[in-house]
Amino acid sequence: MTNIELYLGLGSNQGERASYLTQAVELLTKRVGEYVRSSAVYESEPWGFACDTPFLNQVVVVRTSLAPKDILREIEAIERDLGRIRSSTQRYTPRTIDIDILLYGESVIDVPPSLVVPHPHIVERRFVLVPLVEVAPTGSHPLLGTTWGDLLTACCDTGWVRRWEGARGER
């Protein structure tokens, strides 16, 4: 299989948030593919649920030869290894790490509920679009054909997203 650029959205709002992002990137590089680039880290308010602790978010690009189902299996293992506990009753909850497949090259994949690419909520989430515009400024949505910048401009999400410069007590 040809090496594909895989775009992943990372998020953490429990514990040492920045450390979880760093550990996730290290494990992704070992298990999924070669590190290509990443956005800055952004802080954002939780999306889809109320919580006092903001998220740290980042988009990471790796080059991979793995099939999407294999990537999903590795991502779920990495999340477990980093202490993520999925709720059986709530979809959105605080977490040590969340890793979403945003894009798999230009591919469109629809194997619901767990493997839908491009990620179905990209256009609704500023915390994804802001770092995505940073790592793929000329890129566009494979189905819509609209640039990431135009999608960010049109995004109805009113949640705040700001570049994170680090905080005391976190790496």
**Most distant CA atoms of the chain, gap in Å:** 44
Could you confirm whether 81 is annotated as catalytic?
no
Beta bridge partners of 42: 57, 163
User: Strands 98-104, 161-163: parallel, antiparallel or unpaired by DSSP?
Assistant: unpaired
Contacts with 168 (C-beta within 8 Å, 6 or more apart), sequence order: none
Choice among 84, 125, 126, 157 that is catalytic: 84
Choice among 98, 125, 126, 157 that is catalytic: 98
Could you confirm whether 157 is annotated as catalytic?
no
Could you confirm whether 95 is annotated as catalytic?
yes
Choice among 95, 125, 126, 157 that is catalytic: 95
Q: Is the peptide bond before 68 cis (omega within 30 degrees of 0)?
A: no
Could you confirm whether 84 is annotated as catalytic?
yes
> Rounded to 5 degrees, what angle do the CA atoms 164, 168, 171 make?
65
**Active site residue ranges:** 84, 95, 98, 100
